[in-house]
Structure 1
């Protein structure tokens, strides 16, 4: 009998709260505060903090930190606004730090 396998999911490393689907990964070539990070089109079960302007490696952006809805661990940030035309594709997208998430159903 075949076993059903669900979607590949990323969860919070701290509490295993599901925060993103593998299918929503746009890029794995991003830099977070603590190393590698992934760019996602969507995130779930997260809370979005207040917006702030932040100077990042790719220029000035308006971002909001995102927190695990369950344990309130900072997982990354959401791009609210990009000031440079070449960075506009990031608007509305989410950065999740690789060190803050773990794989499930792989």
Structure 2
């Protein structure tokens, strides 16, 4: 089943641990991914693209998707990223 996200493709992530690598069919094709988990609560907060099987998707390799609705700010409210702080933009083709 394809994964849907309202997250952003980013270059790095902190305070996370990684699950096992697995092959996953996404809307944009087959990818090798690893789920990423919050070190505080253990919840899945997104995934890391380890490998893309299609050449046109190679730009995603090594980058992360953090699902916005799963990430909270320091005060417990919904976390939002200002336009200037965005690193990789939206991964709209996985939405």
On whether the aligned pair clears a TM of 0.5, the verdict is: yes
Secondary structure in 2 aligned to 1:92? coil
Which entry has the higher C-alpha Rg, 1 or 2? Answer: 1
Aligned residues: 75
Length-normalised TM-score, structure 1: 0.64
Greater relative contact order (CA < 8 Å, ≥ 6 in sequence)? 2
Candidates 58, 80, 98, aligned match of 2:28: 58
Ranges of 4+ aligned residues in structure 1 off by more than 6 Å? none
Does the CA-based 8 Å contact 2:3-2:26 persist in structure 1?
no
Does the CA-based 8 Å contact 1:46-1:66 persist in structure 2?
yes
Question: Matched residues in 1 for 2:81 and 2:23: separation?
Answer: 36
- More helix as a share of residues: 2
Length-normalised TM-score, structure 2: 0.71
Q: CA RMSD in A?
A: 2.1
- More strand as a share of residues: 1
